[in-house]
Each structure stands twice: as structure tokens, then as C-alpha cells.
A and B are shown apart, each in its own frame.
Chain A
Amino acid sequence: MVKRLFTLSLAILFFAITLLPIQSQQVRAVSGSEFQPGRIIDDSKFFSGDTMSVAEIQAFLNSKVPVCDTWHSAGYGQNPPFICLKDFRNSIPSKAPEAGLCNGITASGATAAETIAWVAQSCGINPQVLIVLLQKEQSLVTDTWPLDVQYRSATGYGCPDTAACDSTYYGFFNQVYMAARQFKRYARDSGSYNHTVGTNSYVLYNPNAACGGTNVYIQNQATAGLYNYTPYQPNASALANLYGTGDGCGAYGNRNFWRLFNDWFGSPYGPIDYSCKGASNVASTPTGGRVIPNQFTEGGNATFSLTLPNNTGSSCIEIHTWGGNQQGWVTNVATNHPAINPADIKIISANVHGDSKSEITFVKYRNTGSGKVEVHTWDDTYQRWVYNIATNLPAVDPADGEIISGDVTGDGRDELMYVKYRNTGSGKLEIHTWTPNKQAWLTNIATNQPAIDPADGRVIAANLYGDIRDELVFVKYRNTGSGRIEAHTWTPNQQSWLSNIATNHPVVDPNDIEVTSGNIYGGAIDELVLIKYRNSGSGRIEIHTWAAGQQAWLSNIATNVGAL
């Protein structure tokens, strides 16, 4: 009896111990809040055809079906045997190379793993993308008794929502090949398809158009391709229940693609650019610290960030973002860019995606690799670039002009403008507004303001009237008729003034201050903000926010940072 008890106890312990490793195989689940509709996956991940060998793909397929239920009872109109993806074989026909699409394929018998690998290599599509596509469309990767119909429409190519599939594209190889080829067609012939990179595209929540959708700024070709293939984005309910279903307007194709890729192959985003590693500060050169408004979240109030281009502890450009009262930090980030001479650059915030949120953009005026003025926009981590654009403008002397941002067209996103204060062809202060790709000018305006020394005043954009667009405001720091800082607001064509205001603040040394703008209080209009970098009463960087009309202050804050 005692021996039996002892044997039983050992058996229970053994059972428990053998179960425990299964628990350790859980993978960290992603959260719906991490889904970026404009950036489902990066191009560097998507268009990389050799990430897995045939053996690795086979091992992966094996792992997802430990035991194939070959003799599962008949179901959904099909009798056993059932063939799992890991055991599946098919004949593939030869395919001729097509410029810009796929490099051709030789006829052969092939396993599913070989089919995936060969198509991936031929077309330059990540085999992981194809694996996720097979799961997203037909659950083929994890199915222990897949049906013939799942193979014949394996990637959902030719299968519209709410209607039957087109038999023209039936067959496992046909499906995998046509899908990979189509993603390359979206890239090669991008102008012919619905969703293209760098545009705001209306993306539905559901095949039922009554469910609505939103404009999505498509950040890369891979994301454009996914929306062309399956034109729906997840709504809030589908993201809230990421591993289940949402309400009747939910759609799950692109959500599941993103989720499965994360769960099986890790981040769908490319490697972080740590180009700042091993950088040095620029000797005998100022720090060049500036305060910029930063609209962190969509619809939220703007807060402020302190940008430090040089003389930083990390030897990288640093961005420090304050909490609400500017007494402590929300984030302190050493960016991916080495420290740089602040005389050559400017860091600005701009809503480049039209999503009511600002991105931080790094402008290089001169000493650029391209010989042009360059615009580099960081993502939210400041470790990667969303854009790197060499503009159409040859390198400029920043003593003559600067680049500013503002939504002067009223299209919901900020334009970048080159403001030339002096040495202009017209003898006037000129404002040149770029098209979104910064390769051409939307407008070139010689204003009513004669050319000036930029030390006397600067042009900023601010929505001071509560309409859909920003006005341009010429803020004069010194040499004013009134002896005060003045704010002169232009009409939209910059040929006359909407208002001329002598503020409540006396003229100042322009080396000590900067006037900027932001939607600091979340109202219908922007506030003008006076930043004092030095010679402030408190000995600290001070942020003073004007009330509308610039005759009184909404807030006067001495920050936690000493004068620069």
C-alpha cells in the first residue's frame, strides 16, 4: 500500500513536471493599441525573399501541426484522408520571368515548404509573409485536417468578401504565386491601384460600406499592398479584442496578418537604425537647444519638447519631452542621429500625416550628402526615419531663411515652407510652399513685407482664427514702431495684413528668445508662445503662453531646465 502511494506520488510529480515546459512556450502577445493602420509592416521585412530556407519553413510548418489528424471523421463535405500543409505536395508549372515582378520558376514537384520558399525567392516576398497569408486567409498553417477547398483558394486570391472565389486562380501553387506576384504588381504599377504610398487613402472597416472607415496615411509600399489586397482595416472593437472578434463592423484580415506576424516572426518593423552609436559631439560649437511644441497624441493638447542638437551626454541629438507643467520629463531620448552643428540644421514639429498629431522633423540646410536641403522625419521612437527626403531646393545659407511648418492649405496636414528673409530675387520676404513630396513648389509668394534681417523677426504658422487653415504670422522681435514685440498676421495670399498687434511684451534681444505657436489649451485656436532661453528672471528656460490678442498671459512657467 505504501509502495503504491509512493509510486503514485512520483507519477503525479513527473506528470506535473512534464507539463510545465508547455507553459513556458507562451509568447508575449501584442496589444491592439500597438497596431498602426498606416504602417502594418515595413518594406524591409515584406520584400525580403530569403529570410527562411526550405528546411526552416518545413520545421515551422511541422511545429504548428505536431500531429496531423489525417483520419479525422468526414466533415464539411469531405472524407478522409486529410493532408496537412506540412505534408502537402503539388506540381508546379514553369513560370517565365517578368520584369519587376518575379524571376521565373522551373517546373517541378514540390512540397508546400518548397513552394513557399521558391515563390518567395522568385518574387522577392518574405516567405514569412506568405505563411501568414496562408493562415490569415484559410487557417492552413495550423489546421490538422484541412479541406481541399482551403488549398484551392489558399491565399484568398480571387476571393472577394461576401462572394464566391474565382476558379481561374484555383490551386495551391497558383494561389501562392499569384499573391506574391500581385504584391509586386502593386509596387511596380502603384499608380494603377487604390492605395499608394504617401497618400491619404480611405480605408473601410468592413465590406459593408455603412460601417464607414477613415483616411489612413499609407507610410510604405508593403502597407499599401496589404490594403490593395484586402481593403479593410480593423475598427476599435476588433483591436480591443485582438485575439477574438469585435462588433458587427469588425474586419480581421489585416489585423490578423499583423498579429500573426508578430506572434510567429516577431516585430514586422525593420531594424532600428543605431547610426548614432560611437558618435561624438561637435567641438567648439554651441548646443543649439530649442523648445518646440509637440502634439504627441491625436486630438490632445500640445506639450513641449527640448531639442538638443549638440553637446549632449549621449553625443546624439537628444529630444526631451516635458510633462504637463514642464517640471519633469515624460521621455528622454537619444535619437539615432549623431550630434551636429546646430548652425546647419533645424528641428521642427509638423503634422505630416494629417492625423492631428505631430512628427518631429530634422531639417538639414547645408553640408548634406545630396547637396540639397534635406528633410528627415522621425517615427515616434526617434530611432528610425519615416522619411528621408532630399528636396528640390539646393543647400541654403540658414542666415538668409528657414523652414517652417503649417497647414496653410487647410487639407488637414502641415505643409513645409521655405521662408526667405533676405537676398531674395523680389526684394521682398518670400514664402515658398512645398508639395507633399518636396520635389516641387505648391506656391511661390513674394509677400508685401520687404526683405529683413531675420534677427529682427521670424515667420511662424498658427491657426489664430479657428478656421480650417493656419495663418502665417510675422513676429517682430525688435526695431518695432511700438517698442513691443509685434505680431502681424497675413491674409492667405500674404499681400496684406489681417491684424497688426503690438503685444504686452517689450522688444527683446532675439538671441535670448523665440516666439512659436501651438494648440496648448486644446481650444479652437492656437496660442502664441514666448520661449525665453536665457536672461530670464528665474534663471531657467521660461515658457510664457499668450491669451488671444497677445495682451495678457494664459500661463508663465519657469521650467526645470536652467538657462541655455
Chain B
Amino acid sequence: MRTISKKTKLILIPTSLLLITVGTLLVLEKIDVIDLPFVGKTAPPPVQGGINYGPPTEQEKKETEQFKEKQAAENRNSTITESTPGQIKPVTPIISSWGQNPQTKDVRVVGFVPGIYEAGGICTFTMQNNAKKVTKTTTASKDAQTTSCGAVTFPYGELSAGTWNITLNYSSASSTGNSTQSVSLGVQ
């Protein structure tokens, strides 16, 4: 068996120890245990044409697993089932925008119902001041992820100058509810 000379040992042993030290430091740097100043932190990402072709980050992997757990908990991906007869789901319609157009001389109000996905329900928009109450209704339709009430317009002729409160009610065979926002408009 060939033996290593003492001189070679004197070179190999310190070299090996140096390589182990450097290698260990680089590994520790990689796993964020230490922070080496001479290791570049701003190397360009694998972006080509503005597109990041890098592998998923740990954060993205974690979010993916959390998504599945959350979906399973909420059972959101299950198919819509018919409501139990007589069981009405409470909903809170949202007035998403309101305003007036002095040129067309009317007030426009828009709304939707989050949390349900159905068509055919009745949306009732109401404008009310101290003396008067005016209502408009629409038939709800399905949007991408909500039930849309669409828009209604109240001509100035049906209103009078002053402050009006606006509310939205939704009613269908399976859901019902009133808006809870405090919405008012100073009609010119």
C-alpha cells in the first residue's frame, strides 16, 4: 500500500481543513445562519424578457399547501347544492357607487350582493329623505364571484334638493338582507 509522505500530509491536512471551513461557511450562508459580506446578495434573478423563470420560492410553496388546507376546511370547492327549503341565508348587499349627473339630471346607484351566487333575486334601491321615499328595483344576475344588482337611476324629477339616504335590499327564495352602510347624497 502506498503511503503519503509527511510533506504531502503537511500540505493536504491544512488544505482540507481550509476547504471544510470555507465550504461549511458557504453552506451556513446559504441557509441564512450567518451572513458573509463577500458573498453577493444582488445577483440578477433568472429573468428573461421580464419573466421570472426561477423555481417557486419557499413562500410560494408554503402558500400552496396552506391554500389546500384552507379550501378543505371551508369546503369551498364543493358544488352548489339546493338550499334547504325554508332556510333563508342572511346577506348584506353593498352599495358600490352612487352619484349624480347634473347634465342628465339624475342620481345613479349601483350595488351587488357578496357571498351568494344566484340570478333572479330582487334588488330594491331606496332613496329616502324626511318627506319622501323613492324605490327602484332590478333583477339580480350572476357576475364572476358575486350576485350583481346592476345600476338604477333616479331622475331629479322624482327627488327634491336636499340630503337623501340610500339603502339596498335583496330578496330571493334563498337569501335576504339589507345594506348596512350609511350612504347619503346631497341632491342639487
A interface residues (Cβ-Cβ under 8 A, vs B): 2-3, 5-6, 8-10, 12-17, 19-20, 22-28, 52, 56, 59-60, 63-66, 75-76, 128, 138-139, 142-144, 147, 149-150, 152-153, 156-167, 178-179, 182, 191-196, 199-204, 207, 209-210, 228-231, 243, 263-266, 410, 435, 440, 442-443
Contact = CB atoms under 8 A, between A and B. Distances in A.
B146 A231 contact: yes
A512 to B, nearest CB: 40
Interface stretch (B68-76, B128-136, B154-162): B68-76
A196 B186 CA distance: 21
Given A60-B51, A165-B76, A158 B117 contact: yes
Contact of B53 (A9, A60, A142, A442): A60
Contacts of A202: 94-97, 181
Given A163-B117, A194-B111, A194-B148, A5 B16 contact: yes
6 contacts: A2-B9, A9-B16, A9-B19, A14-B23, A15-B23, A160-B145
Interface of B: 4, 8-9, 12-13, 15-20, 22-27, 29-30, 39-41, 43-47, 49-57, 59-61, 63-64, 67-68, 71-72, 75-81, 92, 94-97, 99, 101-103, 110-112, 114-117, 142-148, 150-151, 179-181, 186
Nearest to A210: B180
Nearest to B50: A266
B35 to A, nearest CB: 12
Contacts of A196: 97
Given A2-B9, A193-B110, 12 more contacts: A9-B15, A12-B27, A19-B26, A24-B43, A76-B72, A149-B77, A158-B142, A158-B144, A163-B76, A204-B94, A231-B96, A435-B102
A6 B16 CA distance: 5
A3 B15 CA distance: 11
Contact of A166 (B27, B80, B110, B180): B80
Contact of B45 (A20, A26, A150, A243): A26
B1 to A, nearest CB: 12
A167 B80 contact: yes
A518 to B, nearest CB: 26
B46 to A, nearest CB: 6
Given A19-B27, A25-B55, A228-B144, A13 B79 contact: no
A144 B67 CA distance: 13
Given A9-B16, A165-B80, A195-B96, A139 B114 contact: no
A199 to B, nearest CB: 5
A231 B114 contact: yes
A420 B47 CA distance: 55
A10 B19 contact: yes
Nearest to A204: B94
B30 A194 contact: no
Contact of B148 (A5, A8, A64, A193): A193
B54 A163 contact: no
Contacts of A5: 12-13, 16
Contact of B26 (A17, A157, A192, A443): A17
A191 B15 CA distance: 75
Contact of B68 (A63, A147, A157, A194): A147
Contact of B94 (A17, A160, A230, A231): A231
Contact of B143 (A24, A65, A228): A228
Given A26-B45, A435-B101, A192 B20 contact: no
Nearest to B89: A163
Contacts of A144: 64
B45 to A, nearest CB: 4
Nearest to A62: B53
B27 A199 contact: no
A462 to B, nearest CB: 21
Contacts of A229: 143-145
A250 to B, nearest CB: 13
A209 B180 contact: yes
A20 B38 CA distance: 13
B23 A265 contact: no
Contact of A2 (B16, B26, B94): B16
A564 B110 CA distance: 51
Nearest to A203: B96
Contacts of B110: 193-194
B111 A52 contact: no
A20 B110 CA distance: 54
B22 A161 contact: no
Nearest to B143: A228
B9 A142 contact: no
Contacts of A2: 4, 8-9, 12-13, 16
A142 B53 CA distance: 12
A11 B182 CA distance: 69
B68 A76 contact: yes
Closest 3 CB pairs of A and B: A12-B23, A16-B26, A24-B43
Given A24-B45, A63-B55, A192 B99 contact: no
A440 B115 contact: no
A186 B74 CA distance: 29
A27 B151 contact: no
Contacts of B79: 164-165, 167
Contact of A138 (B22, B41, B67, B102): B67
Given A9-B17, A210-B180, A160 B116 contact: yes
Contacts of B51: 52, 56, 60, 128, 264-266
Contacts of A22: 30, 55
A204 B19 contact: no
B46 A25 contact: yes
Contacts of B80: 163-167
A9 B23 contact: yes
A243 B59 contact: yes
Given A63-B54, A179-B144, A160 B97 contact: no
Contacts of B50: 265-266
A159 B13 contact: no
